[in-house]
Amino acid sequence: MTTDALASDKATRIHITRLHRWTDKLITFRTTRPAGYEFTPGQYARLGLHNGGVMIWRAYSLTSAPNEEELEFYGIIVEGGQFTSMLDRLKQGDELWLDRQVFGFMTPGRFDDGEDLWMLATGTGIGPFISILRDEQAWQRWRRMVLVHGVRHLHELAYADELKTLQASHAGIQGMAALTLLQAVSRDDPGQCLQGRITTLLASGALEHSAAMPLTVEQSRIMLCGNPAMIEETRKMLHERGMRPVRRMNPGQFVTENYW
């Protein structure tokens, strides 16, 4: 299919408006937002880049709030990765393609009940939770929210300052959730952060202890995003606690999104 045919039908051109490098491998990029492109926090877009004559498509969670003028994404540059090697070379003004359709079901609206929202992310899996927390809806819906970000190294704790600002600006306001931020670092001296993998910290009770809040079938609703092995191991632990994934006709306690 020619790019002109793509432009009129399945996909549309967008342009990079801003790039921020957190590390040499971690990048936040903002793009223009096509008219009529609507999404719910937690959903993802499909982005396309030309490689010779072929268009390469990859999924990217939206980190921007649904009411922002631009779209934002947070990504890692994978060594030798087909898409991200090209992404690494992009600069302000460069063109990408955006599938007109929005994807994904890992949204807080999947939960019919529960009072406490737990968001567990490894690495770039924090992306959808940034969008969720930039939107006022989640703050009004939940009594408490806990965001756990697990990374290898301290310098990979992207968005930490903005998250603290969001936490402070909602603190103590009637009708707004209280947000607990937990950071776990697996390969550095953790300093003020938790030490180790999210799964280890869940199994030991350290996450619940640090959040001063138990994970219960009645009250807790959990979103898991990022490394598929983390999600699989956590899923098993939640099963052992009597929790089940949300299905179309069946309410449950957790929803997941594997990044690879």
Ligand X SMILES: Cc1cc2nc3c(=O)[nH]c(=O)nc-3n(C[C@H](O)[C@H](O)[C@H](O)COP(=O)(O)OP(=O)(O)OC[C@H]3O[C@@H](n4cnc5c(N)ncnc54)[C@H](O)[C@@H]3O)c2cc1C
Ligand Y SMILES: NC(=O)c1ccc[n+]([C@@H]2O[C@H](COP(=O)([O-])OP(=O)(O)OC[C@H]3O[C@@H](n4cnc5c(N)ncnc54)[C@H](OP(=O)(O)O)[C@@H]3O)[C@@H](O)[C@H]2O)c1
Nearest-Å Rg of the Cα atoms of the chain is 18
**C-alpha count within 13 angstroms, C-beta hemisphere, residue 220:** 22
Token pair 């939640």 is found at 238
Among 4, 38, 69, 79, binds ligand Y (CB under 6 A): 79
Among 18, 50, 89, 152, binds ligand Y (CB under 6 A): 152
Using rule CB under 6 A, residue 257 touches ligand X? yes
Instruction: Give whichever of 230 and 238 is closer to ligand Y, judged by the CB atom.
Output: 230
**CA dihedral (182, 152, 18, 104) positive or negative:** negative
Query: Burial level of 104, CB count in 10 A (0-12/13-18/19+)?
Result: middle
Can you give the length of the chain in residues? 260
> Binding segment for ligand X among 74-82, 111-119, 133-141, 207-215 (CB under 6 A)?
74-82
Binding partner of residue 58 among ligand X, ligand Y, none, CB cut-off 5 to 8 Å per kind: ligand X
Alpha carbon 222 to its chain's center: 13
Q: Which are the contacts of 15, defined by CB distance < 8 A and separation ≥ 6?
A: 31, 32, 93, 94, 95, 96
CB atoms within 10 A of CB 24: 8
**CA dist., res. 180 & res. 248, Å (int):** 29
Among 230, 238, 246, 255, binds ligand Y (CB under 6 A): 230
> Binding segment for ligand Y among 175-183, 205-213, 225-233, 247-255 (CB under 6 A)?
225-233
Among 233, 244, 252, 258, binds ligand Y (CB under 6 A): 233
Using rule CB under 6 A, residue 90 touches ligand X? no
Q: Give yes or no for a contact between 27 and 75, defined as CB atoms under 8 angstroms apart.
A: yes
Pairing of strands 220-226, 116-122: parallel
Instruction: Give whichever of 132 and 215 is closer to ligand X, judged by the CB atom.
Output: 132
Q: Tell me the site size for ligand Y, rule CB under 6 A.
A: 20
Instruction: Give whichever of 14 and 231 is closer to ligand Y, judged by the CB atom.
Output: 231
**CA dist., res. 2 & res. 101, Å (int):** 19
Using rule CB under 6 A, residue 240 touches ligand X? no
Using rule CB under 6 A, residue 61 touches ligand X? yes
Instruction: Give whichever of 41 and 75 is closer to ligand Y, judged by the CB atom.
Output: 75
Q: Which residues bind ligand Y (CB under 6 A)?
A: 76, 78-79, 122-124, 150-153, 186-187, 197-199, 226-227, 229-230, 233
Q: Which residues bind ligand X (CB under 6 A)?
A: 44, 58-61, 73-76, 78, 81-84, 123-124, 127, 257, 259-260
